[in-house]
Amino acid sequence: MQTVVAEDQAYNAIKEMIVKAQLKPGARLVHRKLAKELGVSPIPVVLALRLLERDGLVVNMPGLGAYVRTWSRDEINDLYHIRSSLEALAASLCAERATRVDMAAILDAKEKYENVLKQGDYEATVQADAEFHQSMVRGAHSAYLETMINNLSIVNLSIYMAHVYLKKPKTTFSAEPIWIHTYIVDALQKKDAAAAGAAAKEHIEASLKMTFALFDSNTKVLS
């Protein structure tokens, strides 16, 4: 039981360090060093790294060890397009299946995102955006779809945050995602599955363009 708890702690801690770019893309992950930093034995860290490899955040190179995964432009493009298709499906299902409780949670998440964005707290805004998407996906009431989207979301977030923190220290915020959230919510409230799916797909594809802006210019935007 202690090993399982330590494994969960190591998994969550290392994942957070990767997502926040405290562990940079291409960084070697030495399990004994990480175990010492996290205050656990090496075995839970080894197990955690295997889970992170499954999630796509870590790559294990035979004879060389584990590294934080780096992504090519083509891979990033594929990841976002896969996610856009899955979120479009989730939004369509949400329009059909969401309860009043689900819609209340979605509206609360939308309002929280807009309020946090105005405050200029970057990390809080990114988290609030993720919470909005999670509330919509939960409203689809499809556990398997939710798991797939959450896994992709973590990978997308780690890619985005790495470029934010490593390449461009100053961030400007775009108001565009607010309006795209609005289109999604309006469609959900009308129970218009086709419109909800189209709006969700548009949002993720807009996020892809903003992510690529991190590669191509000195202007930072929020997806």
**What contacts 75, CB < 8 A, 6 or more positions away?**
none
Per-residue pLDDT averaged across 39-64, rounded? Answer: 91
- The whole-number pLDDT of residue 218 equals 40
**In which residue ranges of the chain is CATH 1.20.120.530 found?**
73-216
Q: For the segment 130-172, what is each residue's pLDDT rounded down to a tens digit?
A: 899 999 999 999 999 999 998 888 888 787 777 666 554 444 4
The pTM assigned to this predicted structure is 0.80
- Check whether 221 has a pLDDT greater than 50: no
Q: Specify the CATH class of 73-216 in words.
A: mainly alpha
**pLDDT above 90 for 85:** yes
Does the domain made of 2-68 have the CATH classification 1.10.10.10?
yes
Q: Which two tokens stand for residue 222?
A: 């929020």
- CA–CA distance, 196 with 187 (Å, rounded to integer): 5
